[in-house]
């Protein structure tokens, strides 16, 4: 088919002038120093501190939407799971706009609905399916352990075997959920900002996390402590939520862009 020589050029997001000005996009990501795990959190705080009131309003609005959907039996919870990457993309796009233009609006929470919403919702559906399968596996293990406890009749060896199965189920949750989180960590950003297909985004995110285990270990340890502190303060997550979004955006920029 003939092409129109007068047509405007078309390019992927990563090739647009404003994206090129941010650095060279690396589709497979790159390994960074362990200290970057801390720097991501610092950068998340810096983005929050630029417009804290707007960020708190965005987090509050997202919290209200989450509560409303969560109280709707079955359908609400399913909708929340499917839409979670769409809202996550909204947070990340807000970080990008704030970094580029210095402007943050509450309505940017819904920016994901204008940037690849179908692909983002597909990510949510894939995440829901992954955790549903994980839940079935763990539920089967717990059911087996409970049946073993019922049959033990106080017999010590059978009781120990059943308790071992329960412990194994807990380890299974940890072992299998971690790769799922790795695959989905950067996926919304890659879909919304780099036009990745859902499966390609999951693969790229997993590989990027795998290449950066040390910075993620530091990042996870610090965020774990901060999440405990945020839970002790009534409105702690209205601050930590935006900082978390900013840190994910900072990690995405640091791993997938070379300056």
- Distances in Å between the alpha carbon of 149 and those of 38, 157, 163? 45, 11, 8
Tens of pLDDT, residues 160-174:
666 666 666 677 777
Tens of pLDDT, residues 223-257:
999 999 998 887 899 999 999 999 999 999 999 99
Neighbours of 223 (CB within 10 A): 20
Asked, for residue 1, whether it belongs to a domain, the answer is no
Asked, for residue 6, whether it belongs to a domain, the answer is no
Residue count (the chain): 259
Residue 171 vs residue 125, higher pLDDT:
125
Asked, for residue 40, whether it belongs to a domain, the answer is yes
Q: Does residue 21 carry a pLDDT above 60?
A: no
Domain that holds residue 47: 24-258
Asked, for residue 143, whether it belongs to a domain, the answer is yes
Per-residue pLDDT averaged across 119-127, rounded?
97
Q: Does residue 108 carry a pLDDT above 80?
A: yes
Strand residues in 26-163 grouped as ranges (E): none
Any idea of the CA torsion for 178, 33, 41, 66, to the nearest 10 degrees?
-30
Q: Does residue 74 carry a pLDDT above 50?
A: yes
Asked, for residue 10, whether it belongs to a domain, the answer is no
Burial of residue 50 (CB within 10 Å: 0-12, 13-18, 19+) is: middle
Asked, for residue 113, whether it belongs to a domain, the answer is yes
Asked, for residue 72, whether it belongs to a domain, the answer is yes
Number of domains in the chain: 1
pLDDT band at 55 (very low <50, low <70, confident <90, very high): very high
Q: Does residue 19 carry a pLDDT above 70?
A: no
Asked, for residue 15, whether it belongs to a domain, the answer is no
Burial of residue 132 (CB within 10 Å: 0-12, 13-18, 19+) is: exposed
pTM: 0.84
């Amino acid at each position: 088919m003939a092409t129109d020589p007068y047509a405007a050029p078309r390019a992927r997001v990563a090739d647009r002038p404003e994206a090129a000005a941010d650095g060279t996009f690396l589709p497979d990501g790159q390994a960074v120093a362990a200290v970057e795990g801390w720097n991501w959190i610092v950068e998340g705080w810096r983005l929050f501190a630029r417009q804290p009131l707007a960020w708190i309003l965005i987090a509050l609005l997202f919290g209200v939407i989450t509560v409303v959907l969560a109280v709707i039996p079955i359908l609400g919870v399913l909708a929340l799971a499917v839409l979670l990457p769409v809202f996550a993309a909204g947070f990340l796009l807000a970080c990008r706009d704030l970094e580029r233009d210095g402007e943050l609006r509450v309505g940017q929470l819904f920016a994901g609905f204008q940037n690849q919403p179908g692909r983002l919702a597909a990510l949510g559906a894939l995440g829901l399916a992954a955790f549903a399968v994980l839940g079935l596996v763990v539920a089967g293990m717990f059911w087996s352990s409970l049946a073993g406890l019922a049959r033990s009749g106080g017999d010590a060896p059978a009781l120990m075997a059943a308790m071992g199965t329960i412990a194994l189920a807990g380890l299974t949750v940890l072992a299998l959920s971690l790769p799922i989180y790795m695959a989905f960590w950067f996926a919304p950003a890659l879909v919304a900002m780099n036009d990745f297909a859902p499966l390609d985004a999951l693969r790229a995110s997993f590989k990027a996390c795998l290449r950066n285990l040390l910075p993620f270990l530091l990042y996870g340890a610090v965020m774990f402590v901060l999440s405990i502190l945020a839970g002790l303060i009534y409105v702690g997550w209205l601050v930590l939520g935006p900082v978390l979004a900013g840190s994910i955006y900072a990690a995405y920029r640091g791993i997938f862009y070379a300056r």
